Amino acid sequence: MTKRAETSLLTDQVYETMHEAIMNGDLPAGSRLRIRDIAAQVGTSVMPVREAIRRLEEAGLAERVPHKGAVVKGLTLAELVHVYDVRRLLEVEAARLGAQQISSADVDRMQTEYELMLAAIAERRVVALLDHDEALLTILYEAAANPVLVDSIRNLWQHCRAYKIVGAQGTLDTPEDDSLWRYQERLVEAARKGDADAAAAVNNESLINATSRIRVQLAAQEDAG
């Protein structure tokens, strides 16, 4: 019993470590998840690593590829477009509902995340930029008081995180492009006014823009490849 509990705890720790590496781009899409190599890196036996990879597969973040074994799951361009289409459906409505009910204290929290996001942009910290952007959006969406909606959106964020990193990095390399912050500025303003239609419109524009930026970056990578 004790050994089983210890193995489960180690599996949780390995899973969190690997999950974080995928979310921050250290393990990009297509990275091979070699069990023995990972076990050596994290200092465990292979069993917790094998179980952690199984959990990643269940979460849709890893997949089995012939002749390669487990790899970090990527998305085709068509799949990515589908993800962003669903994000628009959910996040436009989440912004509308959240703006109707959000408190002034929570709008202040959104403002704080926005300012931290600006600092991350100035310092070219892509992962921190995305973390603060998602935190800002989560505050607004949670105001809608629908946890299933928020969980569904977060799940979609996980699946397209690698491509959000690519898109944000490309935008940082284009100084005249203000799309990393202008939508969030308008979203905070709409939330402060309780303007549900404006919040929904901002999210719609933002996700259309993000889809376009990511398409350009992926096309450039494919050409380079």
Mean pLDDT of the 147-173 span: 90
Query: Where a domain ends, among 45, 72, 99?
Result: 72
How many structural domains are present in the chain?
2
Same domain, 152 and 121: yes
Residue 152 pLDDT > 90: yes
Residues 10 and 102 in one domain: no
Higher confidence at residue 162 or residue 35? 35
The residue among 72, 92, 124 that closes a domain is 72
Do residue 89 and residue 8 come from a single domain? no
Please give the residue that has the higher pLDDT: either 165 or 7: 165
Same-domain check for residues 85 and 19: no
Same domain for 83 and 48, yes or no, is no
118/192 same-domain check: yes
pLDDT of residue 1: 39
CATH number at residue 180: 1.20.120.530
**Residue 3 confidence (pLDDT):** 45
Read off the pLDDT of residues 79-125 as tens digits, 9 standing for 90 and up.
Answer: 888 899 999 999 999 999 999 999 999 999 999 999 999 999 999 99
Find the mean pLDDT for residues 61-82: 88
Residues 6+ apart with CB under 8 A from 53: 18, 33, 35, 62, 70
Burial (Cβ within 10 Å: 0-12, 13-18, ≥19) of residue 84: buried
> Are 151 and 205 within one domain?
yes
pLDDT tens-digit series, residues 185-202: 999 999 999 999 999 999
d(CA 206, CA 196): 15
In this model, does residue 75 exceed pLDDT 80?
yes
Show contacts of 170-179: CB within 8 Å, 24+ apart: 170/213, 170/216, 170/217, 170/220, 171/213, 172/121, 172/124, 172/126, 179/206, 179/209, 179/210, 179/213
Expressed as residue numbers, the domain containing 170 is 77-224
- Measured CA to CA in angstroms, residue 23 lies from 19, 158, 198 at distances of 6, 7, 30
Q: Do 166 and 201 share a structural domain? A: yes
Which band of pLDDT confidence, cut at 50, 70 and 90, is reported for residue 5? Answer: very low
Confidence of residue 225 (pLDDT cuts 50, 70, 90): low
Please determine, for residue 6, whether its predicted confidence score (pLDDT) is greater than 70: no
What is the percent of the chain where pLDDT is above 90?
66
Are 203 and 114 part of one and the same domain?
yes
